[in-house]
Structure 1
């Protein structure tokens, strides 16, 4: 049993289907309309800061030690309106931080703690986030005190850190740098279910086959962070639950050892709440009354705090001393037999058989009362799954090792989506470079204009096809995703496994270009990284193409990228960045359930581009002949390789008609002669069919906007090349 929701059967908690699905009323009217809103979801109009506000600068002025002291004091300063269990808020603050970070998934890098998204729907009203609104409200005096120098996103994670510190754990460190958003993120696909906590055989289930979880999802049910604590579909079975745990944590970039450490470390402190009837719990925050002032799950019928608090429906603490960091979790888990029972709220849980009185935790309000500890089905998976059991026993026998592994795993959990270490702020940033941070060595940023000119001349003299140089630079940079700030051109990992073998990178063409660039670097003797040289070569090719169109331009270039090594690269973790489609290069690896144009929107959003930038880039890339394997779909020009606005001119011309000729294939036919002039894909045609995109296409097709097209293409190109250059922002 979980936290109740208002009318769950009749409401879809999030938009279901592709990330690009339109609003319900429009869906009824025009079901094929492409929604571009995800490209503009964080418009500056929603942000109260002035354009010159710099969060890193504001954070630098923060009295960080004072903040930590205030948080330590908060942990044991119980407030009557929401009293602390055992007089300590540590468990609640850790759960808040955990659930903020725990939405992260590696497949698309979305979710996580780095934007403070937990403050908004749907996350603020997820069943699994029950009563975390109280934790954030308890933190409000500290947020109010330090203001804009401390984001909610940073404060939430720091509160979890200080909760552990106050209970005796030496944490691995903390980095600030999470900047708040001011509007819910609409680009995250949370699942297709039409109700909260829907079982795996329900409509829109995220499971297929033999319990195969849909990508990119990590949680097992709509509204949960991880797995169902009562068991698969609410039925206790630790072995089945172990499968769910392993899949879910792997999709959060955690191995078995980290999984056991996090499960045990999270349940070493605090308790679950289910000592009452769930029927008394009111609606979640988004459905609450105005007088509730953003608070949800209020019990206005009976006593709702202290020992009678209702959250998950499970009732009890996991350890004997729930406000202390110790090894008690493994002591109870491994030394007692456990059986299934139900909480007062009716939720399945496990309790020990014949437990010693001294091993029982005391009541949260009355220390003279002792209560049975509990375990969830996920906890029992640590006991019954053979591999998890081995790790649990090692942790039990070596408490120091357990503390170290947990501290590192907690740091990884709470910082994974923050991006590279160069973005980390504050005095508690660990000095150690961690492989999951995708480290890139520093490289000198100084390179003279004459050296750049020399390199460009050498590139031209090599007579490498401009399309190949542009495609290589694009492929190097397009891996960037703003969701978790991974990928990008910095590091030149396109020359390392696994990227050099990705189908979408055309390995044979890539090898030729890289060999040529390596030779140029060696011949010229200029201290430039291959990462920089790849980008510079693409820029030089664009300048050449613009000159052919009659425009003398210089593509802005900023040196400073480094070259990563194999030792700095966790090849397996980069598998999730492999492109399986790229509308900019008019390529689909296979057929997908969503349209090619929807896939392009997803890539565009991850790159941080607007609809206008997407439009101008596609138009330029087509005439530059950068399609995958030089396919001619969408190359609407007689002057291939010239940076012209021909794509838009011919797309918007009424001299032609379009005819479907198969799966994702169309012919452009001359109306007068009936002859086939060009071919195209859905990605090409959407810029003429979608009313918004057509307005941009017409803008660039105008005779008076040839120069503006070149200017805007270069600006958008540079934005992609520098997407991961946080040192420039």
Structure 2
């Protein structure tokens, strides 16, 4: 048959020969799924809405586990005994220094917890994130992968009952105790996450995971997080980061950029540790206490060390930093490049670190790898035993960051007090270590285990225990009627409840409505809370509370914390009803009122966001490097909202008119105070044009396309729901003709979720609120 000159035989044969073959056959090298340039490559400034859906239940093989209950089933004494035994059981593939793995377990725990920063509550030990990129491959975390691998037999034995997050911190505690130190206590309850964290901003330099990228001495000209000169008064570290260089936990031990200047180092230390919620005494206690143990490693040229775990070859078994010199470990170990120990007894708790620091004069020298360090001027100074070669002694070592404690006048006074009173120092270190390792755990209700201290500490944001009978359904109905007949508007009721509950941030479990701190400083004076109107609302609610409590017999009462939330629920129900949809907004009583004395005002200042798009608040005193909608996304992430929940709440709250300054930005409705879908109808409509009011494109006029008349005004945080591709798809669902009732119901579920975020005292109710959304 004439086929027009085209031979089909080859085509048929080729197809037959490849039937059932790998469909990626012939793919170029590096052409595996995911290796092609991703969205961020092409559009680096896009709004990454997918960050709201990190660590999904689908990634968690233990999603059905009640972890606190499982942890309680552990034989805790046996667990600690197992860890203690492991500390002294050296293995060939990674021998322990001085016959004790304790110091390296302390370092692992320290670096797990030490990523915490107070600005946004992110980092810390809570999710066991040291197991994942980028943290597992930071230069400063060199060889912490070995510590976790050493602990695998313990994890294997206890399985799902013991999270990696808890095990890493407990191993540090047991190590301290094994070497003679009395810890303040330990709480379990940290729940592991199951995928790398893509949401946390670790700094502007970026992270490539390359073999040697990240050493702070190589980042001097690249580091973008500092402004000014370390020797000048104006020297600022970008918020919210706390580490002074990319890929570090705290500071460069050699001084800023490796400059070896102790006073410059002291300035870095003070700023970095303050960003991690530590005062000067806690800072000195942590450094002096931590450096009582172990050694630093710098025996091999860093150019010979292999890639970090995320870039290591398959044969490395998930470990990184392969060392090809000698045995690759023991006396050949390379970690941060500085070599030596601070004391002559590196596995014993004592005050020798401070004694050595102040007894001797110190001179700059170099480690075998060329890193800057300090050694005693006096050749007859104490020596430290070699960690592996029996009979060998080495000179003591100090880092520039150690000498900083001696030269900075404030740090020096603290050191001198610790030298004079060893018991005081021990207590300060125990408390600072406990704070470091538990700072991000949140309310005491999340603490489990037999070693949880009875003492409540200021940084735990104490709320007094429940001491009264709770209101019942009949009481709640009566209180709603009182609230709605009080003269307060829907906007006022909703605004007060939102101001109270939306301070929550899931990063460190701080904030929320429990405690009613919206009545206290600093929250009641925040501009974003519209203090005058808030006080009017609270005064009215306090009168309702007083009348109700006075009328009760027995010990039944309602707290202001509960009443503020209940008032918001009543407002939402009225707003929905007035829009034509009857809905019941869930309310769970049991919140308690705290006091001003139990509120650490400076630390609570950090809970005030620089941008809150729900209320169109923006702090103009803060310099922005990214658009407001990106910070709005960050706020939604801290509230654990999904993209639909974020969208429903943002649009619903806008038509309820709770803008902090009473402005009409984003209030796209002619019936404010009713829970309509009007916001979404406008933001998705092509009947309007969006016209920037100025070149900065922060405010917009929403103009009628036909007449040019300005119908509404808006911010970027309003319009992102019509401009961003992913958010627009959700907005269109609510803008559709059948979208109103769906919006109301979705809004109510998301509202209840936010109101319950801090209710760790009723975990099942909280879980129901989360799952129903």
TM-score in terms of structure 1 length: 0.95
What is the distance in 1 between the residues matched to 2:585 and 2:77? 45
What is the distance in 2 between the residues matched to 1:189 and 1:435? 27
Question: How far is the alpha carbon of 1:646 from its aligned partner?
Answer: 1.2
1:189 aligns with 2:201: yes
Q: Once structures 1 and 2 are overlaid, which stretch shifts more, 513-522 or 547-556?
A: 547-556
Question: Contact 1:442–1:561 at 8 Å: present in 2 too?
Answer: no
Question: How far is the alpha carbon of 1:218 from its aligned partner?
Answer: 1.1
Aligned to 2:527: 503
Task: Describe the shift of the 1:447–1:697 C-alpha distance in structure 2 as closer, same or farther (beyond 3 A).
Answer: same
Question: How far is the alpha carbon of 1:393 from its aligned partner?
Answer: 1.4
What is the distance in 2 between the residues matched to 1:592 and 1:305? 46
- Superimposed CA distance per residue, residues 118-141 of structure 1 (whole angstroms, 9 cap, x where no aligned partner): 001111111010011100000000
Question: Contact 1:284–1:297 at 8 Å: present in 2 too?
Answer: yes
Aligned to 1:5: none
Identify which of 260, 275, 284 aligns with 1:251.
275
1:65 aligns with 2:77: yes
Aligned to 1:661: 693
Question: How far is the alpha carbon of 1:382 from its aligned partner?
Answer: 1.2
1:383 aligns with 2:406: yes
- Superimposed CA distance per residue, residues 134-171 of structure 1 (whole angstroms, 9 cap, x where no aligned partner): 00000000000000000000000000000000000010
- Superimposed CA distance per residue, residues 542-589 of structure 1 (whole angstroms, 9 cap, x where no aligned partner): 111111012222210011111110111111111111232210112222
> SS at the partner of 1:567?
coil
Identify which of 126, 143, 149 aligns with 1:131.
143
Aligned to 1:618: 650
1:722 aligns with 2:756: yes
Task: Describe the shift of the 1:263–1:680 C-alpha distance in structure 2 as closer, same or farther (beyond 3 A).
Answer: same
Aligned to 1:532: 562
Task: Describe the shift of the 1:692–1:267 C-alpha distance in structure 2 as closer, same or farther (beyond 3 A).
Answer: same
Aligned to 1:699: 733
Question: How far is the alpha carbon of 1:24 from its aligned partner?
Answer: 6.2
TM-score in terms of structure 2 length: 0.89
What is the distance in 2 between the residues matched to 1:659 and 1:282? 54
Identify which of 272, 275, 288 aligns with 1:264.
288
Question: How far is the alpha carbon of 1:28 from its aligned partner?
Answer: 5.1
> SS at the partner of 2:120?
coil
1:53 aligns with 2:65: yes
Question: Contact 2:216–2:258 at 8 Å: present in 1 too?
Answer: no
Question: How far is the alpha carbon of 1:278 from its aligned partner?
Answer: 2.4
What is the distance in 2 between the residues matched to 1:671 and 1:342? 71
Aligned to 2:418: 395
- Superimposed CA distance per residue, residues 513-552 of structure 1 (whole angstroms, 9 cap, x where no aligned partner): 1110111111122511101111000110111111101222
> SS at the partner of 2:115?
coil
Q: Once structures 1 and 2 are overlaid, which stretch shifts more, 140-149 or 359-368?
A: 359-368
Question: How far is the alpha carbon of 1:201 from its aligned partner?
Answer: 4.9
Q: Once structures 1 and 2 are overlaid, which stretch shifts more, 649-658 or 249-258?
A: 649-658
1:414 aligns with 2:446: no
Question: Contact 2:657–2:664 at 8 Å: present in 1 too?
Answer: yes
> SS at the partner of 1:230?
coil
> SS at the partner of 1:208?
strand
Task: Describe the shift of the 1:29–1:399 C-alpha distance in structure 2 as closer, same or farther (beyond 3 A).
Answer: closer
Question: Contact 1:231–1:378 at 8 Å: present in 2 too?
Answer: yes
- 5+ long unaligned stretches in structure 1: 1-22
1:119 aligns with 2:153: no
Question: Contact 1:193–1:202 at 8 Å: present in 2 too?
Answer: no
1:27-46 correspondence runs (5 A): 27=40, 29-30=42-43, 32-46=45-59
What is the distance in 1 between the residues matched to 2:87 and 2:658? 57
What is the distance in 2 between the residues matched to 1:231 and 1:298? 27
- Superimposed CA distance per residue, residues 393-426 of structure 1 (whole angstroms, 9 cap, x where no aligned partner): 1111211111111011000000000111110010
1:680 aligns with 2:714: yes
Q: Which has the larger radius of gyration?
A: 2
Task: Describe the shift of the 1:103–1:137 C-alpha distance in structure 2 as closer, same or farther (beyond 3 A).
Answer: same
- Superimposed CA distance per residue, residues 574-625 of structure 1 (whole angstroms, 9 cap, x where no aligned partner): 1111232210112222272311211110100001101100100011111111
Question: Contact 1:476–1:488 at 8 Å: present in 2 too?
Answer: yes
Aligned to 2:573: 543
1:88 aligns with 2:106: no
Aligned to 1:593: 625
1:219-368 correspondence runs (5 A): 219-356=243-380, 359-368=382-391
CA root-mean-square deviation: 1.5
Question: How far is the alpha carbon of 1:197 from its aligned partner?
Answer: 3.3
Matched residue pairs, number? 705
Aligned to 2:589: 559
Q: Once structures 1 and 2 are overlaid, which stretch shifts more, 579-588 or 216-225?
A: 579-588
> SS at the partner of 1:258?
helix
What is the distance in 1 between the residues matched to 2:43 and 2:362? 56
- 5+ long unaligned stretches in structure 2: 1-35, 207-212, 229-233, 764-773
What is the distance in 2 between the residues matched to 1:312 and 1:31? 32
Aligned to 1:157: 169
Question: Contact 1:607–1:720 at 8 Å: present in 2 too?
Answer: yes
Task: Describe the shift of the 1:157–1:497 C-alpha distance in structure 2 as closer, same or farther (beyond 3 A).
Answer: same
> SS at the partner of 1:253?
coil
Question: Contact 2:325–2:332 at 8 Å: present in 1 too?
Answer: no
Q: Once structures 1 and 2 are overlaid, which stretch shifts more, 580-589 or 328-337?
A: 580-589
1:513 aligns with 2:525: no
- Superimposed CA distance per residue, residues 636-678 of structure 1 (whole angstroms, 9 cap, x where no aligned partner): 1122111111111222223223222224222222233332222
What is the distance in 2 between the residues matched to 1:675 and 1:495? 42
Which structure is higher in RCO with an 8 Å CA cutoff and minimum separation 6?
1
Aligned to 1:101: 113
What is the distance in 1 between the residues matched to 2:379 and 2:600? 45
What is the distance in 1 between the residues matched to 2:413 and 2:714? 57
> SS at the partner of 1:727?
coil
Question: Contact 1:105–1:252 at 8 Å: present in 2 too?
Answer: yes
Question: How far is the alpha carbon of 1:204 from its aligned partner?
Answer: 5.0
> SS at the partner of 1:592?
coil
Question: Contact 2:62–2:160 at 8 Å: present in 1 too?
Answer: no
Task: Describe the shift of the 1:608–1:670 C-alpha distance in structure 2 as closer, same or farther (beyond 3 A).
Answer: same
